[in-house]
Structure 1
Amino acid sequence: MIHVMILEDDPMVREINSRFLGKLSDFKLAKAVPSIKEAQEFLFKSRVDLILLDIYLPKENGIDFLKWLRKEEFETDVILITADKTSNMIQEAFRYGAVDYLIKPFTFNRFKEALDNYKERYYGIKKLDTIEQNELDKYIIKNTLNNEYDNSDNDLEKGINKYTYKIIWKEVEKLVDEYKTAEEISEKSGVARVTVRKYLEFMLKEGKVDKIIEYGKVGRPQHKYKNLT
């Protein structure tokens, strides 16, 4: 059983998330708390495998709590559930080890997707003493940035996820007068560079972006992309 804490100051949202969690197998609500102090007190005395964490709390910040968790070396994973959709906040959350990021308001299906992905990785890796790269990649790729291998949008081809597509396109859409590399778009979107490159190539096939290749004196040639729509 995966023990979950919900840290959310809004009692209505806290109740909704608790109900959502109650619909999923293999998850148990260990505690639902409105403040970082209460969360810290509970962590020192009880087991928590996963925390569903809001960012904006009264006079507190969920990212600061995430940093505290890492400093104190708690073996606890975190999924951010927040209305904050700024790229800087998303990047910081992933830098400090968040395994997923849900932007309010979200659907039960997206909530379930995040928890199911987490469960698959949690049990899949835990049961093995060692794991080969090809097996590990299934968990890393599937659980990074909204499960890009979920073909949940019938209008997109297999391997392209609509959530990740929207995140990347939001940045590409701004590139009307200039070309940017996948790395530059990765920094803006918070999505891994290899994933951004894959989606840019898909957008190229769609005819939504243009690509140029710049050759420098040193290093590999740079692939740069611009919005064509």
Structure 2
Amino acid sequence: MYDVLIVDDDFMVARAHERIVEQLPGFRVVGVAHSGAEALDLIGTLRPQLVLLDIYLPDTTGLDVIRRAREHGYDLDFLVLSAARESETVSAALQGGIVSYLLKPFKITELQARLAGYAERRRVLGRPGDLSQSDLDQALGSASGVAPLPPLPKGLSKETAVLIERALKDSDLDLAASECAEELGLSRVVARKYLEHFVLLGQAAVALRYGQTGRPQRRYSWLGPAPR
């Protein structure tokens, strides 16, 4: 479970971000701050693993929050959610070691994909022993929020593909399209399109299971990383 702190001076925006985070398995919001000073105070007391950070704050900037958190030696990651698009600002944020930068306004699925990518990065880097180049490519690709995937057919998005990939990886059992759809808030038809795409690539396996009605149900399970 990843503890998340949300930092945004707009109360409604912060609440919207909180709802998005809480809907994603494996994440929980432990605090919300509306200023830089409040953010640093909560970072020190709550010790979150991830901070969703705006650049524009009433008392300082998100860049200053990053700098001061690093000076204190806090072990955490920052994911910037901001309308600030100046190259100098983005460069400074990258130099501060952020894991991703998402420009406002954005779609819900885009933030969900960044969070799923963050979880994948932590999973890869948390493996014991040495990492392969494939592991590194996967972790660094996930840092941008979208794990490296082969080109998708027309009508399928990378963001949704990442979410479905993670749902399969995180499930201890195989999943039906309806179960995957319910977990992610998608339609069964949409979920099945992505699941069948992963089967076609050899990334997922499918097996038929017969229920009490005698009708077969297609069940999907994750096999391995995307082919390169």
Report the TM range for the smaller structure's normalisation.
0.5 to 0.7
Q: CA deviation at 1:49?
A: 0.2
- Aligned partner of 2:32 in structure 1 is 32
Unaligned runs of 5+ in 1: 159-229
Question: Is contact 2:124-2:135 (8 Å) kept?
Answer: no
Distance 1:94 1:26 in 2: 25
Q: CA deviation at 1:75?
A: 0.8
Distance 1:151 1:68 in 2: 40
Distance 1:150 1:110 in 2: 18
Q: Which deviates the most, 87-96 or 133-142?
A: 133-142
Q: Which structure 2 residues correspond to residues 1-229 of structure 1 after superposition, within 5 A?
A: 1-144=1-144, 149=149, 151=151, 154=154
TM-score, length-normalised on structure 1? 0.63
Cα displacement string for residues 206-229 of structure 1 (whole angstroms, at most 9, x for unaligned residues): xxxxxxxxxxxxxxxxxxxxxxxx
- Tell me, what secondary structure is at the counterpart of 1:56? coil
Question: Is contact 2:2-2:49 (8 Å) kept?
Answer: yes
Task: Provide the identity percentage.
Answer: 29
- Aligned partner of 1:164 in structure 2 is none
Unaligned runs of 5+ in 2: 159-228
- Matching residue's letter, 1:73: G
- Matching residue's letter, 1:39: A
Q: CA deviation at 1:8?
A: 0.6
Moved over 3 A (4+): 144-156
Counterparts in 2 of 1:132 and 1:80: CA distance versus 1, 3 Å: same
Q: CA deviation at 1:129?
A: 3.7
Cα displacement string for residues 22-50 of structure 1 (whole angstroms, at most 9, x for unaligned residues): 11000010101111222222222222000
Question: Is contact 2:114-2:145 (8 Å) kept?
Answer: no
- Matching residue's letter, 2:128: L
Distance 1:5 1:42 in 2: 8
TM-score, length-normalised on structure 2? 0.63
Cα displacement string for residues 96-130 of structure 1 (whole angstroms, at most 9, x for unaligned residues): 11111111110001001100000011122113243
Aligned residues: 157
Counterparts in 2 of 1:146 and 1:60: CA distance versus 1, 3 Å: farther
Question: Is contact 2:81-2:104 (8 Å) kept?
Answer: yes
Q: CA deviation at 1:76?
A: 0.4
Distance 1:95 1:145 in 2: 18
